């Protein structure tokens, strides 16, 4: 499977996961190909807006300064919540809060960095 297909499939999975949890969601047309800072996925429920930039990698780290900067520009306009979602090789998707990334000032995300799950992102994590 080529790189585009892996990324598009991951974006579709994130959209599907939003819908499975009762959210409306869509892949943003043209994300990554237009000159505007458009995120990959937009999810909405009860006036809560979440935007997600999705990445897949076979490496153990990603440097995402441009993606993070562009996601911040979008967030400044829409005032929602923003996350970077990374699918590391043979790992479940991991979500990283954009505001925390910006506060830390480190634009490289590694497999060892703390992350949250999709359910935690939606505040649906169950206590065992």
Q: Is the pTM of this model over 0.85?
A: yes
By DSSP bridging, strand 108-110 and strand 61-63 are antiparallel
Query: Span 3-121: which CATH code?
Result: 3.40.1350.10
Which H, E and C letters describe 69-115, residue by residue? HHHHHHHHHHCCEEEEEEEECCCCCEEEEHHHHHHHCCCEEECCCCC
Mean pLDDT of the chain: 90
pLDDT digits (tens, 9 = 90+) for 14-69: 999 999 999 999 998 666 666 788 899 999 999 999 999 999 999 999 999 999 99
pLDDT for the residue 127: 46
| DSSP single-letter state for residue 9 | H
pLDDT digits (tens, 9 = 90+) for 82-109: 999 999 999 999 999 999 999 999 899 9
């Amino acid at each position: 499977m080529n790189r585009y297909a892996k990324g598009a499939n991951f974006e579709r999975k994130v959209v599907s996961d939003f819908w499975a949890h009762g959210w409306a969601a869509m892949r943003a047309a043209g994300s990554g190909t237009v000159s505007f800072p458009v995120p990959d996925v937009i999810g909405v429920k009860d006036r809560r807006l979440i935007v997600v930039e999705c990445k897949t990698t076979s490496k153990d780290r990603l440097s995402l300064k441009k993606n993070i900067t562009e996601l911040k520009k979008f967030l400044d306009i829409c005032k929602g919540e923003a996350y970077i979602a990374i699918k590391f090789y043979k790992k479940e998707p991991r979500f990283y809060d954009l505001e925390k990334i910006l506060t830390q000032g480190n634009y490289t995300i590694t497999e060892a960095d703390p992350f949250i799950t999709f359910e935690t992102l939606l505040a649906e994590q169950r206590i065992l």
